[in-house]
Structure 1
Amino acid sequence: MASKTNARKRWTLLIDKIKAATNNPEDDLECDDPQFCIHLLKNPILRNYNKLKKYLIGSSNTWMVTFLELSGLDMMLEALDKLSGRGVPSIHDALLQLTCINCVRAVMNSQNGIDHIANDDNQIRKLLQALNSPVILVKKQVFDLLAALCMYSTGGHVQVSQALRHYKSAEKYQYGFNVIMHELRTDNVPYQVTLLSVINAVILGTENLHSRARFRNEFIGLHLLDVLPILK
């Protein structure tokens, strides 16, 4: 009990330090220049990611286009890939991963951002590499974004399907959607809900009925119908 209390205290202190470190009004002036945000990304620390996330949320279309042209999203995805491959993370590293993926989400919440990634299979493949993280909240965010891409456009659906099949080969899964079925073994209910939403997005994200049937049959072949009663 004492160890859990101490862990909560350390987490609270860490959050307080991050808030104090990111509450500088001068940073807003510097972030008016997308080039400055690119400079922040070259030093992937919590303070920099928190400043970046704050500005990404309220950025203009023009600013976002420039940020994307300067490879800002690529840099975040590359950093996320490296962070996710470190093995069991400390509290600090876990929070760093979460803040990084939240920055990616902020980009995708913009029209220019989601258009950009939906048409770039390489970036979606990089996003999938974050599934190597042992942090469930990070993987949940990744699957949330994949579901959004599937439903956003035909191109996004195609890119996600192809990226999952590429991930299958890279991680030595037998089938493209095995990674989703593997993760469904968790007892984390919110995570299970997200995974089921991805399955629905993959099946329903295409208007072609033959493709829908093919995706549905592939999940059935991976024993989805056996898993569903357990999830209830």
Structure 2
Amino acid sequence: MRSPKRVTRVVTHKSLPSCPVGLNLENLCERVREYLPSLTMPASRGRKGWCGCLQNAEPPEITYCVVDQAGTLSLQALTPTQPMPAEDELNVKFLELVDELDLTPPNKAAMLSLPSEKKWQIYCSRKKDQEGVTDLSHLPEHYIERVQALAMLQYPTDSEEEVRSRTRQLDGLKTALRTQPHSFVLRFIELDGLVGLLGFLSSMDYTTSQSSIHTSLIGCVKALMNNSNGRAHVLAHPTGINTIAQSLCTENIKTKVAVLEILGAVCLVPGGHKKVLEAMLHYQKFAFERTRFQGIVNDLDRSTGVYRDEVNLKTAIMSFVNAVLNYGPGQENLEFRLHLRYEFLMLGIQPVIDKLRSHENETLNRRKRYFDIFILFQDHIDTKSATAMFDLLRKKLSHTSAYPHLLSLLKHCTLLPLDYGTYPQHWMLFDRIVQQIILQGESGDNPDISPLRINVKEIVHL
């Protein structure tokens, strides 16, 4: 997707160490900002910056970026040394360059509307990058073969050097997916590179899943999803998001953080929110957990013993939780947002969040505050008290035609067997059906898991 030539000096934030960063077509847009301020992506959803894994709203960039205090990379403009061609020829060349940038339609149109002098300046800059010598000259076929070969190998328990070697190979693919031209990514997808990555993720042994090999492999998926075509293919894959979610079953903090960043960003993509909820349900079964999100809340509560790792993990978790609550159907549907928030509250997340203050980390506190601002209307009563909730229902329905149906429902509930054996599943079924009735949209679509294929509106003749 992007040119391999690197710019090695980046002006970083004062609180972060200066580091060399590979920079190519991925950051060519940053270079254009000095000519075109409007090129930055608009926050079309009206919210921005609260979720650490979501840097932009359209499309979400699944990464953390090191930038300067102004929010952009400091680059010097290149003065062309070659004469500018005729306008028609220049437009053809510049269009080929823009196609490689994988921009959204508004940004692509903005690039194409630049003055001819600026187009030629950017084009010459790109060609200058291509003239450099690069170690990213391998074709997609090479990387796919390496991924397939690595997937067949067991973890080398007696050789740390072999672990580092495998990690470096995957890091090479990650860099290529981020810096090579758009055509490289397309070719990688066409040759079933995504299938190879997902196959490796789903088949790795336990020891490999705890190692840096797993972290680098997730990094490859993350880099692929930063490309619009790569993201579309991952979302279209029948088990892609489920396989990514399985990678939460590791003790490697960096791997968990990367997975949570991906899942949080997918919540912004149309149709992605429900895929994330389904993936968490899949992970519940995969990890043999009692409920979905149980592992997320447990990780939020536990201590790793290393302050930086602990803060990074807890920040990523709170960013993910906020993405689940704020995006998808919950963006417009209050009932759905309350439904998901209550699910987290039932897992005991509130006292866990209250403990986060002890870290005295502003970023973490900011994530926590976004969860706190959503106050349930049920918070005026004790939602853990069956008596309090029944009294509320009785007051609301006692003088309505719905009251006899409430009594009938309660009478039939008393006929159910006691809570032993397989009988609790009946109550779980009731719970899920009521949730489906509350959340189902006007057209019969279900934003969350649905135990029955029913159209509530048709059944009750509303």
TM normalised by structure 2 equals 0.41
Quick one: percent identity of the two aligned structures?
A: 27
Rounded to whole Å, the distance in 1 between the matches of 2:178 and 2:245 is 23
Rounded to whole Å, the distance in 1 between the matches of 2:212 and 2:208 is 14
- The answer to whether structure 1 residue 192 and structure 2 residue 314 are counterparts is yes
The aligned residue for residue 165 of structure 1 is: 281
- The answer to whether structure 1 residue 73 and structure 2 residue 194 are counterparts is yes
The aligned residue for residue 21 of structure 2 is: none
SS at match of 1:184: helix
Runs of 4 or more, structure 1, over 6 Å off, are none
The aligned residue for residue 211 of structure 1 is: 336
Rounded to whole Å, the distance in 2 between the matches of 1:141 and 1:103 is 11
The aligned residue for residue 122 of structure 2 is: none
Give CA deviations for 1:124-152 in whole Å, capped at 9, x if unaligned.
1111121122211111111111111112x
Rounded to whole Å, the distance in 2 between the matches of 1:84 and 1:218 is 32
Rounded to whole Å, the distance in 2 between the matches of 1:169 and 1:208 is 30
The aligned residue for residue 15 of structure 1 is: none
When residues 220 and 121 of structure 1 are mapped into structure 2, their CA distance, relative to the original with a 3 A threshold, is: farther
Residue type matched to 2:322 in 1?
N
When residues 131 and 84 of structure 1 are mapped into structure 2, their CA distance, relative to the original with a 3 A threshold, is: farther
Gaps of 5+ in 2: 1-132, 151-165, 304-309, 358-462
- The answer to whether structure 1 residue 48 and structure 2 residue 169 are counterparts is yes
SS at match of 2:260: helix
When residues 107 and 191 of structure 1 are mapped into structure 2, their CA distance, relative to the original with a 3 A threshold, is: same
Give CA deviations for 1:124-183 in whole Å, capped at 9, x if unaligned.
1111121122211111111111111112x2311111110101111222212111121121
Rounded to whole Å, the distance in 1 between the matches of 2:278 and 2:214 is 25
Q: How does 1:9-20 map to 2 (within 5 A)?
A: none
Q: Over alpha carbons, which structure has the higher Rg?
A: 2
Rounded to whole Å, the distance in 2 between the matches of 1:84 and 1:130 is 12
- Contact in 2 for aligned 1:143/1:195 (Cα 8 Å): yes
The aligned residue for residue 451 of structure 2 is: none
Aligned-pair distance for 1:27?
5.2
Residue type matched to 2:170 in 1?
Y
Mean CA deviation greater in 183-192 or 79-88: 79-88
- The answer to whether structure 1 residue 98 and structure 2 residue 215 are counterparts is yes
SS at match of 2:239: helix
When residues 159 and 165 of structure 1 are mapped into structure 2, their CA distance, relative to the original with a 3 A threshold, is: same
When residues 160 and 176 of structure 1 are mapped into structure 2, their CA distance, relative to the original with a 3 A threshold, is: same
Residue type matched to 1:211 in 2?
F
Rounded to whole Å, the distance in 1 between the matches of 2:245 and 2:340 is 19
When residues 95 and 59 of structure 1 are mapped into structure 2, their CA distance, relative to the original with a 3 A threshold, is: same
Aligned-pair distance for 1:186?
2.7
Residue type matched to 2:184 in 1?
W
Gaps of 5+ in 1: 1-24
Residue type matched to 2:244 in 1?
L
The aligned residue for residue 174 of structure 1 is: 290
SS at match of 1:86: helix
Rounded to whole Å, the distance in 2 between the matches of 1:133 and 1:48 is 21
Give CA deviations for 1:54-112 in whole Å, capped at 9, x if unaligned.
211112223212212322122223323444622785xxxx2222221211111111111
Rounded to whole Å, the distance in 2 between the matches of 1:133 and 1:174 is 18
When residues 95 and 143 of structure 1 are mapped into structure 2, their CA distance, relative to the original with a 3 A threshold, is: same
The aligned residue for residue 230 of structure 1 is: 355
When residues 125 and 142 of structure 1 are mapped into structure 2, their CA distance, relative to the original with a 3 A threshold, is: same
Rounded to whole Å, the distance in 1 between the matches of 2:209 and 2:214 is 12
Rounded to whole Å, the distance in 2 between the matches of 1:69 and 1:185 is 42
Aligned-pair distance for 1:191?
0.5
- The answer to whether structure 1 residue 130 and structure 2 residue 247 are counterparts is yes
Rounded to whole Å, the distance in 1 between the matches of 2:351 and 2:145 is 50
TM normalised by structure 1 equals 0.78
Residue type matched to 2:324 in 1?
V
Aligned-pair distance for 1:51?
2.2
Rounded to whole Å, the distance in 2 between the matches of 1:81 and 1:130 is 8
Mean CA deviation greater in 79-88 or 222-231: 79-88
The aligned residue for residue 141 of structure 1 is: 258
Rounded to whole Å, the distance in 1 between the matches of 2:205 and 2:354 is 32
- Contact in 2 for aligned 1:168/1:176 (Cα 8 Å): yes
Rounded to whole Å, the distance in 2 between the matches of 1:36 and 1:88 is 23
- Contact in 1 for aligned 2:208/2:214 (Cα 8 Å): no
Rounded to whole Å, the distance in 2 between the matches of 1:181 and 1:121 is 27
When residues 37 and 219 of structure 1 are mapped into structure 2, their CA distance, relative to the original with a 3 A threshold, is: same
Residue type matched to 1:184 in 2?
L
> Higher helix share goes to which structure?
1
